[in-house]
Structure 1
Amino acid sequence: MENVVSIYYGGTVERDEYGCVKFVGMQCEVVIFDEKPSFSELVARAREELHCHENDEITVEGILHLGSPLNIQRKIVPIRCAGQWEKYVRTVMNGHSPSVEVVVHPVLPLLRSRAHDGFLALQYDDRYTPLLQMAGLDVISYQVRRGMPKFNSAAITALVDRYCYH
C-alpha cells in the first residue's frame, strides 16, 4: 500500500528525551495516489494541503513505527530528496506496520527584527502569527508589522564615528 500516504500538517511535534514523537493538534489527510508517488509528487500534494505556493519551501519528515505492536513508538526521519524518499518507503514497507506517513511543515523565511536603512521594510509572514500567539508573543508580531522608524543614516554614522573612534 505504498500508494496510500498519510500527510500530517499543522500543530506541533513534541519529542521526548529519547527522540520519540507525539503529535499535538495536527491534522491528517490520507491521500490515495494511482501508484507509489515520487518525491516531487508528494511535495506538490503536501503544498496543496499547506496552502503554499509552488515556490514556497516545505520540510518533509517520514514517520517510523518502532517497537512491538503493544508498545509502538514513533520516530521521525528527515526526507530531503528522492533518494531518501525511496529508502524511507522501502524501510516502511519492510516493517511490521507498512504505512507511509509523513509530517510536512512550511519553511518560514527568517524574521528580521531590525532594518539598518529607513527604506528597508521589515518582512513579516502572516504564518508566524499563530506560532507567536501560542508562545504568548503577540506583541512581537505587532512590532514587526509596524516596521522600523525612519532615521537619518548620515546622523547615525556621525554618532558612531564620534563615540567609537575618538
Structure 2
Amino acid sequence: MDEDVLDEIKFWREKLVAMFRTQSLCCIFFETAKNVKHMPHCFLECIPVTNFLINTKQAIMECEDSSRDNAVLIDMKERDVKRVIPAGFSYFVVYFGLEGGMAHIIENESLVPSWFGQEVIGGMLGLEYNQWRKPANEVLEQQVKRVATFKKQLKEFDSTIFQK
C-alpha cells in the first residue's frame, strides 16, 4: 500500500475510535488481503464491540495448520502493515482500537475464508451463523436511516467529510 493510503486508513481509524468511544464501545479493525500476487485487494472492517474481545489471538493461531514457514502471529504495536508483511504475501491483521494488534501471513488461502474476522467476532459473541454471515435483509428505508445516523455521528468528529 502507498503511504498516503496508510495515512488515510490511520486517519479514519482514529475518527471511528473517537466516535464509538462516546458510545462506550471499543473498535476492533480487521484487514484482510488475499490473492495479492494476481489481483491485489485489501478488505477493511471496523466492528464496534461492548467489551474488548481479546480471544482473537487464539482464533488466528488455529486458522492454519502447524506446518508453516512464517511466524503464526506478528506483533503490530506501533507498526503498520507495509513494514511488517513482505510485498506479495496474503495476510490478515486485527487492530484493537489504536493500540496496535497482530498480523498473520496467510500461507494457504483456502483455509482462511474472506469472512474470517466476522467469524471470530461472531463466535466470541456466541452468535448463530445466520446472525453474522447472512443476516436478514433490511428494508431500504431502514438502511438509509442507519446511514444518515452514522454520517451525522461521524461528522461530529471530522467536519471535512460529507461536504458537497
What TM-score, normalized by structure 2, do the two folds share?
Answer: 0.28
Question: Which structure is richer in relative contact order (CA contacts within 8 A, separation 6 or more)?
Answer: 2
User: By percentage of residues, which structure has more strand?
Assistant: 1
**Higher share of residues assigned helix:** 2
